[in-house]
Structure 1
């Protein structure tokens, strides 16, 4: 780790109070001017119960609660074209000339995810997240393109998390 790095890694055996005191000493001039949000994003000690951070977490919880309670896009196997079987064991696959697979996310879920991540709806067009899904803030999750997230995923985004194009998350 370089001497000018912003991450604080204290030796084992130090208490939280000692780690905070070390960071206060090392970053004295910077810490006084940083919000707890800025501290968290830089990997410095911060107060998780800071009112701005609490409001941001509650905002995320309201959004992912609505997302987790939402229904998938109203496409059901009975809506398949004549002769096409549902996917799965014994099902048929979609051929090159067939229509694209249905959008499982749908408009409601896509709107909620774009709101949670703090991005435009266009940024989540190639994103599919299976509920339930949880995170700290949502706005610290940066997607670089297509992303599939299977069910029961938790992303702890107290610091920025970047997810590359074509990333797939499996279930727990």
Structure 2
């Protein structure tokens, strides 16, 4: 029953037409529908709904509606996470987001991959690669992050960027494809220090 699911999480090719995926996707859609209909003023219910949806959720998450994801359980967000309107996360693989991460509107995080062979696509073959976003990252509006990408601690991704490769710690990166244009004074030790002070 869980063979294709385990293949997906391991990054191996899997059959996305397996009925188990449909059941999981349907359950997540119901949770997302509930979340997106909660009043903005009901912060306690909204936080609880996010904690029910995500695999891990730190303190004081804020995700403006509407929000969309595939499974939810493969998403981990740290403390003080903020995402603006229309965040989309395709979490076929793990999506790990650190503390104090700010995401602008219309941002998309894609872990899912499809074959270029049309016959394989028609037969439902997919695979997925994880996305990792470090602590103290700001992602501007309308950014797309591709499968397998890591964005380092303390980095800023400019609006409209398409991130197809890893971004080192302390980078300011922009463009399509996204490239580092500047570095800032930031190190993984800073991120650990920030986390220990919370």
* 2:59 counterpart (94, 119, 125): 125
Distance 1:34 1:70, change over 3 A: closer
Are 2:162 and 1:162 aligned? Answer: no
Residue 34 of structure 1: how far off its partner (Å): 6.9
Matched residue count: 106
Are 2:18 and 1:58 aligned? Answer: no
Which whole-Å CA distance do the structure 2 matches of 1:166 and 1:118 have between them? 18
Consecutive unaligned residues in structure 2, runs of 5 or more: 107-198
Q: Greater helix share, 1 or 2?
A: 1
Match of 2:44 in 1: 107
* 1:47 counterpart (2, 6, 15): 15
Contact 2:54 2:72 survives alignment (8 Å): yes
Are 2:3 and 1:35 aligned? Answer: yes
Please give the TM-score of this superposition, normalised by the length of structure 2.
0.50
Report the secondary structure of 1:134's partner residue.
strand
Consecutive unaligned residues in structure 1, runs of 5 or more: 1-32, 75-105
Q: Greater strand share, 1 or 2?
A: 2
Contact 1:110 1:124 survives alignment (8 Å): no
Which whole-Å CA distance do the structure 2 matches of 1:128 and 1:34 have between them? 32
Residue 49 of structure 1: how far off its partner (Å): 2.0
Does 1 or 2 have the higher relative contact order (CA < 8 Å, sep 6+)? 1
Report the secondary structure of 1:137's partner residue.
coil
Match of 1:71 in 2: 39
Please give the TM-score of this superposition, normalised by the length of structure 1.
0.57
Which whole-Å CA distance do the structure 2 matches of 1:125 and 1:165 have between them? 9
Which whole-Å CA distance do the structure 2 matches of 1:130 and 1:155 have between them? 14
State the Cα RMSD in Å: 1.8
Contact 2:2 2:20 survives alignment (8 Å): no
Cα deviation digits, residues 107-157 of structure 1 (max 9, x gap): 2111211111145xxx44321000000001000001132210100110010
